[in-house]
Structure 1
């Protein structure tokens, strides 16, 4: 049951995020807006990682195959297109 509520919250947050991002993009432009969104998301993820005590950052080197690490590059391509 908690998964259902998490899904509802996620959907609501995605809708609100779209509105916020659109307003930032109108003022700053696509690339500045996207950089801000990614930077602020990274900062929150970093704080949560430090609080929650997750795996070592060095485990990123264990990802196989290495091309799977291109998710961020693909995201930039999605933004550009």
Structure 2
């Protein structure tokens, strides 16, 4: 149950952050805004780490394979793409397409066991669920 609650909070925060970042971009530029997001996230993470954990920061480099360290690079492009999509589509349409994309890619990662994820069996139920979600986006966008 706690996982569902945390996921719902995550989705809500992502939508709010996208709107905030789009507004910051209007006062600066997309890459300045993305830089501010990453810098303020770093400061926040280091502050929480210093209070909660205090484990060796360099332990992060023990991860294998090393390409797993590219999460921050991906995060910068996530920030960029969220800003640009919300700017051109509005928060609701952009968020729906982002969630659909997340769902499809996450299922493919799970289905094929990519990046070390546990491999899952194909499920028609999940495919139908994705089709219904995509139909929902089409219906929502239909004017």
Q: For the superposition of Structure 1 and Structure 2, which TM-score range results when normalised by the shorter chain?
A: 0.7 to 0.9
Does structure 1 conserve the Cα–Cα contact (< 8 Å) formed by 2:21 and 2:33?
A: yes
Q: Which residue of 2 aligns with 1:15?
A: 15
Shift of 1:54: 4.7
Q: Distance in 2 between matches of 1:44 and 1:10?
A: 16
**Aligned counterparts, 1:1-81, within 5 A:** 1-77=1-77, 79=80
Q: Find runs of 4+ consecutive structure 1 residues off by over 4 angstroms.
A: none
Report deviation, 1:77: 4.9
Output the TM-score relative to the length of structure 2.
0.50
Q: Gaps (5+ residues) in structure 1?
A: none
Distance 2:8 2:77 in 1: 28
Distance in 2 of aligned mates of 1:8 and 1:76: 22
Moved more, 66-75 or 20-29: 66-75
In our comparison, the structure showing a higher alpha carbon Rg is 2
- Unaligned residue ranges in structure 2 (runs of 5+): 82-143
Cα RMSD of the aligned pairs, angstroms, is 2.1
